Structure 1
Amino acid sequence: MTFQYQSLAQHIAQKIYRSELKIGQRLSSLRQFAEQHQVSLNTAKSCYELLEAQGLIYVKPKAGYFVQSQAQPLHSIAQPQHLDFDAIAKQVSNLELQIEIHEASISSDLIHLGSIQLSPNLIPIDALRRSIQRALKHSKSEDFLYSDRQGHSKLREALSAHWAEDGIFIAKEEIYITNGCMPALSTVIQNLTEVDDSIIIPTPNYNGQLQLLATLKRKILEIPAHADGFDIDRLEQAMRDSGAKVCLLTANFQNPLGFCLSYADKEKIAQLAAQYQCYVIEDDIYAECAYSLKRPLPIQYWDRKGYVIYCGSVSKSLSPSYRIGWFCLPSRLKHLRAKILTQNSAVNTPLQLGLADLIYSRAYREHLNQLKPKLMRQVEQYRQFIMQAFAGVEIRINQPQGGYALWLQLPQQIDSLKMYRYAQQHSINIVPGLVFGEDQRYNNCIRLNAGHQLSDEIERAIQLLADWAKKQI
């Protein structure tokens, strides 16, 4: 449940980040605020207290509430530039480098600027522990036998009910539980395509997906992505002319650019999928990491013909170690059910039941409501510090609308692979832009994780990278 004071606080926070409310500007008094928004004084007070806790406003005794000073206004941070190129089907050429960088990105011995993951302090560990304990206490004897390969009915029911609160209606019979999002994508891709088939994908795109496609020996057909999404006309052209059976898309807070497609674009994509009979595999793993309290709808919401396969997990919104994901099989693909069930590995039953309890107890919803404003504030702190550290270097940073991936575009003479090697020598983990597409077109870019609190250690690591970049130019 979203409380009114949280919604109001989110609205004011957005105004602060957009500089619609200026640094040092005095806010309405509690009584004035309550009257303006037609809420109680208690609601107004709770709203201001939340904003104060987030460091967005401060109170002066007997003077009122004021907008907190920030290092640099948002509008002065330039967005990465859009690169244009022709879509040509090709194999992912750097699989060995992809694997090396992936293994390094999850190393616990390095400073966490590589893999996109939440800091433990943002994970509701106590609530997870209580839910697992309750789930075990109330489990039935059959829960300790071999589990249903489609997933436990309690979890599928819980997910269906959870999504319905956000306006996403998927029956539990269509939900298949997997050991994370990547196994879900792998299963769907293998059942819809053959080796050497082309899959349409916007780039720069999550390097883990490219690594998966390389491992499965699928070709990629890249279309240009940018800060606001990607060109739907180019997507239609690829669907119409390439003969591709599948495209792999993230519409909500794509990794690494962080964009969220408009509802008009999502509806158009669903229509194009049906028109050209090109399946859309939708990876919606970041949707619940929106900065607004309302979760954005997926492409699947507009699917009327069964050409969108909805996939996701709780790895980014809850915990990267909680290996539970899913894909949702529309009725058009029911004929694949038996084959899919033979391929789908059974998922740990106690963890499934624990997640179901977390959802039904409302602890997961409460966690999301608390996480979103924290993420928004934390990501902006990273952006401001990066600009400060790289002062004198012409860099561009994305402004995510959700999630916590940061995409830095550096001057052309900066080699991101050399920066990655340098960072490794100093126990720092980053991901070079080279692995987010083909033809080395993103070699002057890097991706950073902003899921951990901006500690002194991380600030020193970012400053070290900035100092190295300054020497290169």
Structure 2
Amino acid sequence: MTFQYQILAEQIADKIQQGELQAGQRLISLRQCAEQQNVSINTVKNCYELLEAQGLIFVKNKSGYFVSAKKSLVQHTQRPTHPDFQSQPRDVSNLELQIEIQQDSINNKLIHLGAIQISPNLVPVEALRRSIQRALKHSKPEDFLYSDKQGHIRLREALSEHWAEDGFYIAKNDIYISNGCMPALSVIIQSLTEMGDSIIVPTPNFNGQLQLLAVLKRKIVEIPADTNGFDLDRLEQAMQSTGAKACLLTANFQNPLGFSLSNAQKEKIAQLASRYQCYVIEDDIYAECSFSLKRPLPIKYWDQQGYVIFCGSVSKSLSTAYRVGWFCIPQRLQHLRAQLLMQNVAVNTPLQLGLADLIYSRAYREHLTTLKPILVAQVEQYRQFIITAFHQVDIGLNQPSGGYAFWIQLPEQIDGLEMYHFAQQQGINIVPGEVFGEDGRYKNCIRLNAGHELSDEIRDAIVLLADWTREQLTSAHVA
């Protein structure tokens, strides 16, 4: 459901983007706007606060709200560039490093710039507690026996209705509940492919997925990606010529680059999957962290022939600790039902029922509505601070329109793995670009998490990384 203040905010944002409202121009007062739009003052107040969080307007004490000036630093910061390369089946070569860095990224004793996760302060703990309590209160005796390995029917119904509200429909009988998104991907990959088979992935690609493919002994076929997405012609060539049985894609706010594909591109991918009978395993875990009011549609929406498997979880939108995810099987793959049930690990029933209640009570939808402007403001704060901290250092920086991952391309002289080891010594966790692809293509890149509040501790950590970078550049210059 879209609230009135969000609709009003979108209308004002459009006027700002189109130049109808100029930088420095004073907006009409809350009361005047309420009378003009025939809404409550509280609705206008929420609207202005959302626009302020998005950085489009600012408030002057006792003077009102004004349109923000465009920030020159943002305009002049280049996007990261990425190399082209030939796509061919190969093994993931750096598994031990992948595992080491993945373990370090969830070390809670280090400053949280590694794993992509939102702050515990953004988790709707009270709403979640009430939902779990209600779920337990109204549970049936059979809810305390062995649970259905496909997942509790109430949660599958809740998810089906939740997604229908966002514009796409998946039948409850096609939904399988899993212990998070990665277990869902694991079950699907093992069901559709065998050891030694190739899977197409755009790179740089989420290091956790590459680690999973390495553990499962699958080969990868990399296709080049950048902050705008990836070339669908290259995807088609890989489907056509490499013998890959599947591809693993994130179309909405991909980790680490943050790109979101257009609806036309998503439709084309669904068509290519059908044409070449190459299954698309869609990891849509970040879609509900969109900065826009409307959730972007998944590739699955355009799947007419049943070659797209939709996967996700609430770990990025609700909490990484809430281990509930899903995979959705089209009719074409229903013959795998017994195998899928055997491989899938049953999920804690009270957690399933708690999430179902959170959805049905509208508390989850309200949480997402509250989360969006906070993420918009927080990510922009990180972006501006990174630019300021790395002043006079030639960096490339992505500009996410959803999610909260930052991909930083450092000068060629800088080794991201060396920075990672330096950061570890300082009690800071980051993820080096080396683990997001093969052949050391991203050695001078790092990924940072912007899911936590930009505290003084995190600011100091970013400044420390920037100062270390300058020292390395000075040493390289002297040498």
TM-score range, shorter chain: over 0.9
Match of 2:316 in 1: 316
Structure 2 residue aligned with 1:393: 393
Match in the other structure for 2:201: 201
Q: Work out whether residues 134 and 357 of structure 2, in 8 Å CA contact, stay in contact via their aligned partners in 1.
A: yes
Inter-partner Cα distance in structure 2 for 1:18 and 1:415: 41
User: Paired residue for 2:147?
Assistant: 147
Identify the residue that residue 231 of structure 2 maps to in structure 1.
231
Q: In structure 2, do the counterparts of structure 1 residues 100 and 156 end up closer, same or farther at CA, with 3 Å as the change threshold?
A: same
2:457 corresponding residue in structure 1: 457
CA distance in 2, matches of 1:423, 1:60: 39
Q: Are the structure 2 counterparts of residues 136 and 470 from structure 1 closer, same or farther at C-alpha, using a change threshold of 3 Å?
A: same
Structure 1 position 279, deviation (Å): 0.2
Cα gap change, 1:81/1:402 in structure 2, threshold over 3 Å: closer, same or farther? same
Alpha-carbon spacing, 1:376–1:53, altered in 2? closer, same or farther (3 Å): closer
Matched with 2:210 is 210
SS at match of 1:225: strand
For 1:169, the equivalent position in structure 2 comes to: 169
Q: Secondary structure at the match of 2:265?
A: helix
Q: Deviations over 1:143-168 (max 9, x none)?
A: 11100000000000000000000011
Partners of 2:50 and 2:373 within 8 A in 1: no
TM-score normalised by length of structure 1: 0.95
Deviation, 1:84, is: 1.0
Task: Report the equivalent of 2:476.
Answer: none
- How far apart in 2 are the matches of 1:451 and 1:224? 27
Per-residue deviation, residues 261-315 of structure 1 (Å, max 9, x unmatched): 0000000000000000000000000000000010000000000000000000000
Distance 1:161 1:309, change over 3 A: same
Instruction: After TM superposition, list the pairs within 5 Å mapping 1:383-462 onto structure 2.
Output: 383-462=383-462
Q: What residue identity is the alignment partner of 2:188?
A: V
Deviations 1:61-103 (A, max 9, x none): 6643213578755322211113211102110000000000000
User: Equivalent residues in 2 for 1:176-325 (5 A)?
Assistant: 176-325=176-325
Aligned to 1:372: 372
User: Deviation string for 1:202-221 (max 9, x for gaps)?
Assistant: 00000000000000000000
Q: Write the distance in 2 (CA, Å) between the matches of 1:61 and 1:416.
A: 43
| Residues in 2 aligned to 1:274 and 1:52: alpha-carbon distance in whole angstroms | 44
> 1:410, 1:256 → 2: CA distance?
15
Contact (CA 8 Å) 2:54, 2:376: kept in 1 or not?
Answer: no
1:446 alignment partner, SS class: strand
Determine what percentage of the aligned residue pairs are the same residue: 72
Give the match for residue 57 of structure 2: 57
> Aligned equivalents of 1:401 and 1:49: distance in 2?
19
1:332 maps to what in 2? 332
Shift of 1:26: 2.2
User: Residues of 2 paired with 1:71 and 1:428: CA distance?
Assistant: 29
Q: Which moved more, 1:17-26 or 1:166-175?
A: 17-26
Once the two structures are TM-superposed, the CA of residue 448 in structure 1 deviates from its matched residue by: 0.1
- Following superposition, the deviation at residue 51 of structure 1 comes to 3.6
SS of 1:167's equivalent? coil
1:420 offset after TM fit, Å? Answer: 0.2
1:79-158 pair list within 5 angstroms: 79-158=79-158
CA distance in 1, matches of 2:15, 2:183: 39
The answer to whether the 8 Å contact 2:53/2:377 transfers is: no
Question: Partner letter of residue 464 of structure 1?
Answer: L
Code of the residue aligned with 1:434 in structure 2: it is E
Q: Cα 1:287–1:206, aligned 2, differ >3 Å: closer, same or farther?
A: same
| Post-superposition offset of 1:30 | 4.2
Q: Give the C-alpha shift of residue 36 in structure 1.
A: 7.2
What SS does the aligned partner of 2:199 have? strand
CA shift for structure 1 position 12: 4.5
* TM-score in terms of structure 2 length: 0.94
Letter in 1 for 2:265: D
Q: State the distance in 2 between where 1:191 and 1:49 align.
A: 48
Q: Secondary structure at the match of 1:454?
A: coil
Q: How many residues align?
A: 473
Q: Which amino acid aligns with 2:226?
A: H
8 Å Cα contact 1:82-1:227 kept in structure 2 = no
- SS of structure 2 residue aligned to 1:453: coil
Displacement, 1:32?
6.3
Q: Distance in 2 between matches of 1:61 and 1:104?
A: 44
SS in 2 for 1:97: helix
Letter in 2 for 1:381: Q
Q: Distance in 2 between matches of 1:141 and 1:12?
A: 52
Map Cα deviations across residues 158-188 of structure 1 (whole Å, 9 max, x no partner).
0000000001100000000000000000000
Q: Is the 8 A contact 2:312 2:326 kept in 1?
A: yes
| Residues 431 and 17 (structure 1), Cα distance of their counterparts in 2 relative to 1, 3 Å cut | farther
Matched residues in 2 for 1:293 and 1:113: separation? 27
Give the superposition deviation at 1:15.
7.4
Deviation at 1:49, TM superposition (A): 4.0
Rounded Cα–Cα distance in structure 1 between residues aligned with 2:224 and 2:11:
32
Q: Return the alpha-carbon distance in structure 2 between the equivalents of residues 315 and 59 of structure 1.
A: 34
Aligned partners of 2:228 and 2:259 also within 8 Å: yes
Whole-Å separation in 2 of the counterparts to 1:440 and 1:21: 47
How far 1:45 moved relative to its partner? 3.7
- Given residue 332 of structure 2, which amino acid in structure 1 is its aligned partner? R
| Pairwise CA distance, 1:240 | 0.8
- Aligned residue identity for 2:167: G
Change (3 A) 1:13 1:380: farther
CA distance in 2 between partners of 1:389 and 1:69 (Å): 21
C-alpha separation between the residues in 2 aligned to 1:438 and 1:36? 57
Offset, 1:9: 2.6
Alpha-carbon displacement from aligned partner over 1:24-53 (angstroms, at most 9, x marks no partner): 332244466558767565533431244456
Contact 1:17 1:73 in 2 (8 A): no
Structure 2: stretches of 5+ with no match in the other structure: 474-479
Q: Structure 1 CA distance, aligned partners of 2:468 and 2:271? A: 48
